[in-house]
Amino acid sequence: MRPAPSILAGGMKIIEVTNVDFSLRQFLLPLMREIRARGHQVIGACADGTYLDIPRAEGFRIVPIPFERRMSPLAHWHAFRALVRLFREEKPDLVHAHMPISGFLARMAAWWTGVPRIACTCHGFWFNSPGNPARRFAGFLMEWLAGRVTTVFLTVSDEEARDAHRLHISRDAVSVRNGRDPAIFHPDPVARDHIRAALDVTEDTVVIVAVSRLVRLKGYPELAAAMRDVPTAELWVVGERLYSDRGDDMLALLRHSGLGERLRLLGYRTDVAAILAAADIFVLPSQFEGLPMSVIEAMLTGLPVVASDIRGPREQVAPGATGLLVPPGSVPALAEALNRLVDDPDLRVEMGQAGRARALDLYTESQVLTRTLDLLGVADQNASGGGVDSASGSDEAVPSCPISSPSNVP
């Protein structure tokens, strides 16, 4: 990697770019808080939306960019031009881009406008997702081209860092993982009792919980089918479909799954930590992931995890020790794994404790933020007596607000 630029008094100006408001709030907000805490100016850029209320309430400046999460050349051209205007006006020291389309456009716009340091964090390569071969090839070509102008290339999974090396996308790609705050996500008997009482669920009811966006790639058709063969447990589904999501209506599919009162559709929740504490088993039968935050949250909460044997989850879950991995798309294997945990409370406790220990060792927010910012060359100005900064240029501290994530959104 190229050496970091020297940091002047008052810190760097950094622009964090992602696709939609949901991604900024759930994944980038902790990073933006830490950048500001280190004494640098940080600006967010993404499609506008209601999920930006908390970042803006904390004083962060968020610039709306008309991103589209679909292959629309005209829409992408408009987004590219908006990014070029933003970078020319702000003259940032560093642009840090996320997600496939927004990440590609931001890096190319940063290169076009002469931004001295261009970084990217890959949250899952498009070309590794199932689906249209032409779309997958386009995803590879975008990554390969943008890799030519990327100063710092980060991934959230070790396997995709190896993919970047193997496919010559970036010879310097480094995995930084994902992380969550164990002060927020942890076993909580009080929250467990409160949530179960509010939902009128008895203590002896085994609860399986899924936390993600309601999209096909998260494996909801397979989960609904598998749950019909897990007759002694309830399924709680936390999450919603984003305005930018496309494809089949998973909410309708779940409502017509035949699970009856054993299914609870909880929608988008800000108390995900409490919901997890009230559950017994976490499930994520996805077909494609980066390194899902929801798995980390479940592990920190002490839940055994049943997940697909795909990139991301297979790094997180130690099979037979912290949870169970199943072939993606296999309803019988998913039902068997869930029944094994439903029928064995001692195994659930043993795997949950091992998963929490593993998450504390590998996936805490503080260690991930430190590693990421160190690799980006964002030094701590306060440690050396440097200036302090905020999104508005003030040196007055703005209190942070902890959040909970319904999913990893690639």
In DSSP notation, 248-285 reads: S-HHHHHHTSS-GGGEEEEES-S-HHHHHHH-SEEEE-
pLDDT given at position 379: 95
- Residues 106, 221 share a domain: no
pLDDT at residue 98 above 70?
A: yes
pLDDT at residue 141 above 60?
A: yes
- Residues 199, 343 share a domain: yes
- Residues 199, 337 share a domain: yes
Burial profile 269-290: b = 16 or more Cβ within 10 angstroms, e = fewer: beebbbbbbbbbbbbbbbbbbb
The label of the residue with tokens 């050496």 reads 3
- Residues 284, 136 share a domain: no
- Cα 325 to the center of its chain, rounded Å: 20
**What tokens were used for 144?**
């390969």
pLDDT at residue 386 above 60?
A: no
pLDDT at residue 390 above 80?
A: no
Q: Which of helix, strand or coil describes residue 119?
A: strand
Report yes or no on 184 lying in a domain: no
- Residues 168, 144 share a domain: yes
Distance between CA atoms of residues 55 and 32, nearest Å = 9
Q: Which residue has the higher pLDDT, 380 or 383?
A: 380
What stretches of 206-352 adopt beta strand conformation (E)? Answer: 206-211, 233-238, 263-267, 281-284, 305-308, 323-326
- Residues 42, 150 share a domain: yes
Domain that holds residue 329: 189-362
**What tokens were used for 239?**
């999450």
pLDDT at residue 156 above 60?
A: yes
Helix (H) or strand (E) holding 154: strand 152-155
**CATH value at residue 193:** 3.40.50.2000
- Residues 346, 236 share a domain: yes
Please state which of the ranges 71-85, 187-201, 242-256 shows the lowest mean pLDDT: 242-256
- Residues 374, 347 share a domain: no
pLDDT given at position 384: 57
Report yes or no on 255 lying in a domain: yes
Give the model's confidence band at 389: pLDDT under 50 very low, under 70 low, under 90 confident, else very high: very low
**What tokens were used for 215?**
């999209």
pLDDT at residue 288 above 70?
A: yes
pLDDT given at position 369: 98
- Residues 315, 198 share a domain: yes
- Residues 209, 349 share a domain: yes
Identify whether the C-beta of residue 217 lies closer than 8 Å to the C-beta of residue 244.
no
Q: How far is CA 10 from CA 61, 370, 394, in A?
A: 17, 20, 11
Report yes or no on 72 lying in a domain: yes
Structural domain count, the chain: 2
Q: Is the pTM of this model over 0.95?
A: no
The DSSP call for residue 308 is E
Q: What is the mean pLDDT of residues 19-24?
A: 94
pLDDT given at position 383: 75
The label of the residue with tokens 């897990």 reads 230
Give the model's confidence band at 251: pLDDT under 50 very low, under 70 low, under 90 confident, else very high: confident
- Residues 319, 219 share a domain: yes
pLDDT at residue 74 above 70?
A: yes
pLDDT at residue 186 above 60?
A: yes
Q: What is the mean pLDDT of residues 69-95?
A: 93
- Residues 345, 333 share a domain: yes
Report yes or no on 330 lying in a domain: yes
Of residues 34, 55, 53, the one with CA closest to residue 44: 55
pLDDT given at position 135: 86
**What tokens were used for 41?**
């100016």
